[in-house]
Structure 1
Amino acid sequence: MSIPFDLPAEDRVSSPYTGYTRAHWEAVADGLLTAAWRWSTPGDALLDLPGRPSRSGVRSDGLEGYARTFLAAAFRVAGAGGDDPHGRLERYARGLAAGTRTPGRDDTESWPLILDHDVQGQPMVESASVALGLRLTAPWLWENLDEDVRDRAEQWLRGALRHTPAPNNWYLFPYTVAGFLESVGRGDAETAAARERALELMEGWYLGEGWYSDGDGRAFDHYNGWALHLYPVLDAHLAGDDELGARYGARLRAHLEGFASTFGADGAPLHFGRSLTYRFAASAAVGLGALTGHTPLTPGASRRLASGGLRHFLDRGALTGDGLLSPGWYGPHEATLQSYSGPASPYWASKAFVSLLAPADHPLWTEVERAAPVEEADRVLALPVPGLLVQSTRGDGIVRLHNHGSDHVRPHEGEAAAEEDPHYGRQAYSTRTGPTAPGNVADNHLSVEVDGRRSVRRRIHPLGAGGGAGWGWAASWHRPVFAGGPPMVPGLRVESVTVARGPYELRVHRVTGAPAGARVTHTGWATGPEEDLVSALHPLHGWDPAPETVRAPQGTAWTRWARVPRLTGAADGASPYACLAVLTAGPNPVPLAEAVTETTADAGGVEVVWAGGARTRVAFDPVRVTHVED
């Protein structure tokens, strides 16, 4: 699709995979900012972008437009050493002065106060972008403000230090505000306390291998990269704090060891977790690693991933005809959004422009692009801490994520709530498919049906993950919960194991404690009729002989309506259920019926013999997976 602003010519010499250079990143930042600023209020304090208001209201949405575009402008200007050819900082300075004025009778532009997250929380989120923008541009903006404007800005920002954030990555917003205030000589005990509290919580949320849970519980998603790693590592970099930089930089490096393998060959990030309308912000951790040196990737591989993500969305309709980022995935897509999403929410994509802090002569921009991990070889990567299994195939460039550990359920919520978040509760996600919408048939889902009620998967309990050369596994259990009646069936339990080998997914489930007459259904990948994708399920044991195909009329982020393969069977509890699943692209679909030549099962587990002689055994009590190549 056409991009509604000019870009430089592609450079296939230095960027053989994407054609994008640093000049492209600058041009995209300029184009996005020019389009967004057409919607500014007279005093430049708010950017009232068109679209459905968020639950926070239009004034908060306007602040969001100011703050998130300011972040892009700050990365652009600071990365260019203060060069501001479009005079953007002058407008942001005017907006800061207008936004922090004491509200009067005819006031239409002052910013909403920062209050507790459950009262008026969104301004606290935006305070971090305002503070970080001011910190990055301090020599050219902050230092030229009138003293009373600086005092008013400080007073507004301190609201983030004096009110309660949401119990997750939000604690990094006052941390970032405090970091800015200290950087301009306005630190005190209040700023020190905000920073100490955030770092203390981070230690509790860090579970190892580069993965933080986004608050208590098991919420592992893109917030690791565009929040939990970004703020402390960038803060340490800007402050020149070697001690904090080493601590949090080592975690970023460990995170990128696995996260780098989650980008598809077409540049797409995994469609997994919430706030996906931030799109190419998923590459922020990659750019930050390259900037600070805390990365296992070469500069050329880092640029290939970051530029691939940026170009992926620009080429697929993420921009409206007048150059705005639409709320959605490619174009507008309601099911991608959360209730807190507003017209300016997509501009947290600005975090990707952290790459511009690397100057033009940095290896991130001068080294020739190198292949992404998915382009090098077929890969299966087990991530035991988050309970995830990453599977990619070089031939079609698709990355699949098998979820046996992330559920976004808070500890106080318990297991009984009968609502499943499609962006966390499904068993698999990919770079080419999205989950089906609530109310539609659920893709990649095992459900127990009792008295006409189908269960959902809420709290996920990981049982392990591992593997070897060319294969891997991950396992979990959950207690099915039901809507429209008693939420739990006492004693009902589902154990699930995924084994990935090449393009194949061996899916094994054991259902225990099901009442008489219960049924079990299992679905595969959701694909559309116009897509060059093949999604299939092949029953191996425990299922009725023939799969069926069901329709999801609201589709996914990729297709207006979707088809989903489904298996059904009686929940007799005698032995496990086993099937093969596949998601692949191209003209030659993988023949599932020929992939496994023999299947044996009993109450203790399942063993399959693959074409070629390899054997995989999935055992229960406890869960163990063994695999032997012929």
Structure 2
Amino acid sequence: MRLPPPDHTLSPTTGCTRAHWEAAADALLAAVEPYATGDRALYHLPGPRQSWSGRLSDGLEGYARTLLLAAFRRDETALGRYAEGLAAGVAGVWPRIEDRGQPLVEAASIALALRLTRPLLWDRLDDTARGRAAEWLADALTAEPWPCNWELFPVTVGGFLQEIGHEPDAARKAVDHGLARIEDWYVGGGWYTDGDGRKFDYYNGWAMHLYPVLHAWLADDPRLLDLYGGRLERHLGDYARLFGADGAPLRQGRSLTYRFATAAPLWLGALTGRTPLTPGETRRLASGALRYFLDRGAVDGRGLLTLGWHGPDESVLQGYSGPASPYWASKGFLGLLLPPDHPVWTAPEEPGPAERADALTSIDAPNWLLQSTRSDGLVRLHNHGSEDVRYDPYYTRLAYSTVTAPATSYDNSVIVGDDPGRTGIEPLGVGDGWAASRHTTASGVRVTSLVLAHGAAEVRAHLVTGAVPGTPVRVTGWAAPDGISAELLPAVGLVDPAQAVDPAGSGGPGDGAGLVGVTGDGDTLFVALARLTGAPDPGPLERLVSVRADATGELAVDWRQGPRLRARLDGHGVEVHVRE
């Protein structure tokens, strides 16, 4: 992808200005154009797989998601092509919108694009095309969504149909229903779960906040904008801390192939004036995410976004991921709705949180502890509260970062016997430099976990309750890429596998990594020191912290340049106190 020369005066870190975002949008739109059908109603992008919805739905997805990019770009020539495709699509080419079907998702992108560009696209269609399009979209008002962020797709379609006066009562009902539905999943502090349970991930930003806030803004509804904009503003205070100094988002959760869609809520805050971030910080974080992926192979030799993270990567895909799925990255170009003279484009870049200082940030809703270090710009997420409805390595590992990916050997896990899955996570709280949770294995063993962090160092403690004496336990740490150092040292109840008395007892899931131990009579405590760092000379980990445990399982943790703590894990929960 050819971009303008970097402007390190206006953007000293990323070099990106509005011109770079425009050029990237233009290049992405040009690259997909050869894959449009003759009537421009479908975009059949090449790829090694189809989604479970099939080829026709995938072609609609290609149309809808790239239309959204054209809408943010407000390119009249491109929008003219999409107008042709719209007229053909609603004349019988596109699949119908049905219960829990992928066309419902794409209808939301189409409706949002039409609402954003009404004078440039919708108003230029003839009456026949407008009537057919409105009828096709209207099926979204009554189609049953999956009980998650999908509830907002009828809201987005309904907002547009209300505006044009098509089935206004049904449209209003769909909007009201969807907005009421997400109230069940708002847990405070600017955070939603993505449906029932404890699924905390980027869907907060690119769906749960995006659609209600945009609807309120487009409807010019002060009451709704105050409600949803206020939530967005609180969310962004945490969200800005999820980006590393190199621009990388945390590699956690599903649908990660949307890549720089992570920039969407940053721009949304600036667009609506509901953000705690300065204009320069907003652009720095958003442009950092764009450059991070473009510089690491997200676009192939044909100029197409691939299914993956950097380049192609099957590990981040879901069954619904098809060749056009990555183009939800279009949401990352939301900032182009802001005029060129807006401060978010004219203010000099300012450093993001990971560049300013070492920080430990506790986030109550998902029960997360964020740990960032200025020396290497890394952000680490200690997860003691997020999980999918099934075991998923992108949700249920103990930790994630901006430089690592979950490994097949169960990194960042505690493995009791042959049961590595951590499901049914019960949050036990977060505080100043700590986070804790509990889970019960399939065999009924209860594991209470606590992490304490300072600088780049971590103390990880696990109390195992209810296991048969002699049950093997493995504690694993970070799986680091080249150039990054990962350490895991035994502190209490653990040894290196090479030093295990019973080598056979060190096998099982994750064999070949981590530390091992065995349970005794009654509750057994296991403690390890861990560190993930990109610093060139971090010094010995064991000199940064000392850990002692007494017979009751109480821990004394002394950071060399930090607080002296007392921690206790038992059957009732976890307590952490500063020692005098």
Scaled by the length of structure 2, the TM-score of the pair is: 0.95
Distance in 1 between residues matched to 2:150 and 2:221, nearest whole Å: 22
Q: 1:426 aligns with which of 378, 382, 397?
A: 397
> 1:184-203, aligned counterparts within 5 Å?
184-203=164-183
Q: Is the 8 A contact 2:469 2:518 kept in 1?
A: no
Residue equivalent to 1:558? none
2:164 matches 1:164: no
Cα offset, 1:206, TM superposition: 0.5
Residue equivalent to 1:113? 96
Residue equivalent to 1:518? 471
Residue equivalent to 2:44? 48
Distance in 2 between residues matched to 1:591 and 1:601, nearest whole Å: 25
2:575 matches 1:627: no
Q: 1:204 to 1:613 in 2, by over 3 A?
A: closer
Instruction: Answer 1 or 2: which has greater helix percent.
Output: 2
2:564 matches 1:567: no
Residue equivalent to 1:9? 5
Cα offset, 1:498, TM superposition: 1.1
Q: 2:420 aligns with which of 445, 455, 462?
A: 455
Q: 2:412 aligns with which of 444, 454, 464?
A: 444
C-alpha distance after superposition, 1:400-421 (max 9, x if no partner)? 0010111122xxxxxxxxx620
> 1:242-391, aligned counterparts within 5 Å?
242-391=222-371
Q: 1:580 aligns with which of 529, 536, 543?
A: 529
Distance in 1 between residues matched to 2:540 and 2:279, nearest whole Å: 39
Scaled by the length of structure 1, the TM-score of the pair is: 0.88
Q: Is the 8 A contact 2:254 2:394 kept in 1?
A: yes
Q: Is the 8 A contact 2:279 2:344 kept in 1?
A: yes
Residue ranges of structure 2 left out of the alignment (5+ in a row):
501-509
Per the alignment, in what secondary structure is the counterpart of residue 128 of structure 2?
helix
Residue equivalent to 1:107? none
Which residue identity lines up with residue 511 of structure 1 in the other structure? Answer: V
Q: 2:87 aligns with which of 81, 91, 97?
A: 97
Which residue identity lines up with residue 32 of structure 1 in the other structure? Answer: L
Per the alignment, in what secondary structure is the counterpart of residue 170 of structure 1?
helix
Q: CA RMSD in A?
A: 1.7
Cα offset, 1:149, TM superposition: 0.8
Cα offset, 1:564, TM superposition: 7.6
Cα offset, 1:8, TM superposition: 1.4
2:43 matches 1:75: no
Per the alignment, in what secondary structure is the counterpart of residue 623 of structure 1?
strand
Distance in 2 between residues matched to 1:501 and 1:15, nearest whole Å: 31
Residue equivalent to 1:412? none
Distance in 1 between residues matched to 2:202 and 2:20, nearest whole Å: 24
Distance in 1 between residues matched to 2:60 and 2:551, nearest whole Å: 60
Q: 1:569 to 1:304 in 2, by over 3 A?
A: same
Per the alignment, in what secondary structure is the counterpart of residue 573 of structure 2?
coil
Which residue identity lines up with residue 483 of structure 2 in the other structure? Answer: D
2:134 matches 1:138: no
Q: 1:577 to 1:249 in 2, by over 3 A?
A: same
Cα offset, 1:167, TM superposition: 0.3
Distance in 1 between residues matched to 2:18 and 2:164, nearest whole Å: 30
Q: 1:626 to 1:188 in 2, by over 3 A?
A: same
Which residue identity lines up with residue 467 of structure 2 in the other structure? Answer: A
Which residue identity lines up with residue 112 of structure 1 in the other structure? Answer: P
Q: Is the 8 A contact 1:537 1:565 kept in 2?
A: no
Q: Is the 8 A contact 2:409 2:511 kept in 1?
A: no
Cα offset, 1:143, TM superposition: 0.5
Distance in 1 between residues matched to 2:312 and 2:266, nearest whole Å: 26
Q: 1:92 to 1:239 in 2, by over 3 A?
A: same
Residue equivalent to 2:216? 236
2:459 matches 1:506: yes
Q: Is the 8 A contact 1:377 1:394 kept in 2?
A: yes
Per the alignment, in what secondary structure is the counterpart of residue 38 of structure 1?
helix
Distance in 2 between residues matched to 1:512 and 1:476, nearest whole Å: 14
Residue equivalent to 1:556? none
Q: 1:480 to 1:563 in 2, by over 3 A?
A: closer
Per the alignment, in what secondary structure is the counterpart of residue 18 of structure 1?
coil
Distance in 2 between residues matched to 1:40 and 1:397, nearest whole Å: 41
Q: Which moved more, 1:585-594 or 1:300-309?
A: 585-594
Q: Is the 8 A contact 1:459 1:479 kept in 2?
A: yes
Q: Is the 8 A contact 2:463 2:523 kept in 1?
A: no
> 1:167-182, aligned counterparts within 5 Å?
167-182=147-162
Distance in 1 between residues matched to 2:312 and 2:3, nearest whole Å: 23
Q: Is the 8 A contact 1:527 1:563 kept in 2?
A: no
Distance in 1 between residues matched to 2:562 and 2:212, nearest whole Å: 49
Cα offset, 1:189, TM superposition: 1.8
Residue equivalent to 2:438? 477
Q: Is the 8 A contact 1:393 1:399 kept in 2?
A: yes
Q: Is the 8 A contact 1:443 1:564 kept in 2?
A: no
Q: 1:548 to 1:327 in 2, by over 3 A?
A: farther
Q: Is the 8 A contact 1:55 1:339 kept in 2?
A: yes
Distance in 2 between residues matched to 1:563 and 1:574, nearest whole Å: 24
Per the alignment, in what secondary structure is the counterpart of residue 11 of structure 1?
coil
Residue equivalent to 2:506? none
Distance in 2 between residues matched to 1:563 and 1:265, nearest whole Å: 33
Which residue identity lines up with residue 25 of structure 1 in the other structure? Answer: W
Per the alignment, in what secondary structure is the counterpart of residue 389 of structure 1?
strand
Residue equivalent to 1:466? 431
Cα offset, 1:194, TM superposition: 0.8
Q: Which moved more, 1:250-259 or 1:453-462?
A: 453-462
Q: 1:547 to 1:71 in 2, by over 3 A?
A: farther
C-alpha distance after superposition, 1:413-451 (max 9, x if no partner)? xxxxxx620110101000000112xxx3111011111xx
Q: Is the 8 A contact 2:57 2:103 kept in 1?
A: yes
Q: 1:300 to 1:187 in 2, by over 3 A?
A: farther
Q: 1:577 to 1:207 in 2, by over 3 A?
A: same
2:495 matches 1:539: no
Residue equivalent to 1:611? 560
Cα offset, 1:160, TM superposition: 1.2
Cα offset, 1:575, TM superposition: 3.6
Q: Is the 8 A contact 1:478 1:494 kept in 2?
A: yes
Q: Is the 8 A contact 2:480 2:532 kept in 1?
A: no
Which residue identity lines up with residue 59 of structure 2 in the other structure? Answer: G
Which residue identity lines up with residue 491 of structure 2 in the other structure? Answer: L
Cα offset, 1:236, TM superposition: 1.1
Distance in 2 between residues matched to 1:60 and 1:67, nearest whole Å: 10
C-alpha distance after superposition, 1:76-125 (max 9, x if no partner)? 10xxxxx53xx1111101111111113xxxxxxx11111111xxx11111
Which residue identity lines up with residue 366 of structure 2 in the other structure? Answer: P
Cα offset, 1:525, TM superposition: 0.8
Q: Is the 8 A contact 1:600 1:606 kept in 2?
A: yes
C-alpha distance after superposition, 1:524-575 (max 9, x if no partner)? 11123xx1011110111011256799xxxxxxxxxxxx99840111022444
> 1:53-68, aligned counterparts within 5 Å?
53-68=50-65
2:19 matches 1:23: yes
Distance in 1 between residues matched to 2:511 and 2:540, nearest whole Å: 19
Cα offset, 1:283, TM superposition: 1.3
Distance in 1 between residues matched to 2:243 and 2:170, nearest whole Å: 40
Q: 1:429 to 1:548 in 2, by over 3 A?
A: farther
Residue equivalent to 1:554? none
Q: 1:35 to 1:299 in 2, by over 3 A?
A: same
Residue ranges of structure 1 left out of the alignment (5+ in a row):
78-82, 103-109, 410-418, 482-488, 550-561
Percent of paired sites with the same residue: 53
Distance in 2 between residues matched to 1:627 and 1:36, nearest whole Å: 58
Q: Is the 8 A contact 2:448 2:573 kept in 1?
A: no
Cα offset, 1:612, TM superposition: 4.6
Q: Is the 8 A contact 1:576 1:605 kept in 2?
A: no
